Amino acid sequence: MLELEALSVTYPVGRRARLAALSDLSLKARAGQTLAIVGESGCGKSTAARAVAGLEEPSGGRVLLDNRPLAPAVERRSREERQAIQMVFQDPMSSLNPRRSILHTVAEPMLEMGLVRTLGQARPLVEAALAEVGLPGADLSRYPHQFSGGQRQRICIARALAGEPRLIIWDEPTSALDVSVQAQVLNLIQRLQRDRDLAYVFISHDLGVVDHVADEVAVMYLGRAVETGPARQIMRAPRHPYTRALLAAIPSLAATGSRARIGGEVPNPMAPPAGCPFHPRCPEVRPACRAALPELRPLTESRRVACLRAEDLYGEPTT
């Protein structure tokens, strides 16, 4: 349903320099499934989400919906295209207008998309949307500051649903919530997908959450995808050293001894290292890794990896 073709985003820095926040990202998201984009802070995952939503204009590549290219900026997209893609942000408080009641907040997409003409017509639909996310309709006259963090995120979800989208982008939707509330919101997100056959793009740095919700995974590092494929295969048998290090850092009751750590710091994106961008931190680095930038190449029909030593280190993956 959604396809990214060599999507790139750069930002000007000073008079002449440019920062490559996203480079040649090619991914697909299908109806009824979740594509997770994961990585450390600064890897480009949120930039990718904003480019899909039309909030950041790509410097290269395309975003396609049903094989039709979308305009790069949201204000140049048709009403149907804007309706098809909605986004839920990380911090629910900052994404809600503190001066608008919940009725006005959730009704706004309906009015903007022409689904209703008046606030009175929107009211029963807003009540239904709030009920679907587990909030009572009696809350319509209240304001965001009168709700807890988990309730505010449910309001944001109801607002996204109000536009009747086909794809929802989730940008770290649970990272600002308490652990107990995170589980409730994740279960809600999965139930809505089953009920509505929605496609999801799920942005996260938490691989434990990704393992719970994702069908496909793209692991990113310094603006590039380094491993992509079915979530179950990547989580059980990663083929890139960076993916393996991320998975090894997940807390586990079964783990004994000290967990693996990724040494060093993420390189300066204004001056990325030659060759593989991960090689300064990679425990498996060889001279060839410093010489050439590895392409994201196929290992199987469904899996791709950007590592020169994937087969040498870990063997051929099963399909």
CATH class of 2-220: alpha beta
pLDDT bin (cut points 50, 70, 90) of residue 136 is: confident
Q: What percent of the chain has pLDDT over 90?
A: 58
Q: Is the pLDDT of residue 18 over 90?
A: no
Tens-place pLDDT, residues 257-282: 555 567 778 888 888 889 999 999 88
Q: CA 238 to CA 247: how far, in whole Å? A: 9
Please tell me the pTM assigned to this model.
Answer: 0.90
Q: Is the pLDDT of residue 256 over 60?
A: no
Domain ranges of the chain: 2-220
Query: According to the model, what pLDDT value does residue 232 have?
Result: 92
Question: For 73-109, how does the pLDDT look when each residue is reduced to its tens digit (9 = 90+)?
Answer: 888 989 899 999 999 998 889 999 999 999 999 999 9
| Alpha-carbon distances of 245 from 6, 223, 269, rounded to whole Å | 26, 18, 21
Please check the confidence at residue 255 and state whether its pLDDT lies above 70: no
Confidence of residue 318 (pLDDT cuts 50, 70, 90): low
The average confidence (pLDDT) of the chain is 89
DSSP letters, the chain, are -EEEEEEEEEEEETTTEEEEEEEEEEEEE-TT-EEEEE-STTSSHHHHHHHHHTSS--SEEEEEETTEEPPSSGGGS-HHHHHHEEEE-S-TTTTS-TTS-HHHHHHHHHHHTTS-SSHHHHHHHHHHHHHHTT--GGGGG--GGGS-HHHHHHHHHHHHHHT--SEEEEESTTTTS-HHHHHHHHHHHHHHHHHHT-EEEEEES-HHHHHHH-SEEEEEETTEEEEEEEHHHHHHS--SHHHHHHHHTS--SS--SPPP---S-PPPTTSPPSS-TTTTT-TT--HHHHHSPPP-EESSSS-EE--TTHHHHH-PPP-
Mean pLDDT calculated for residue range 222-247 = 92
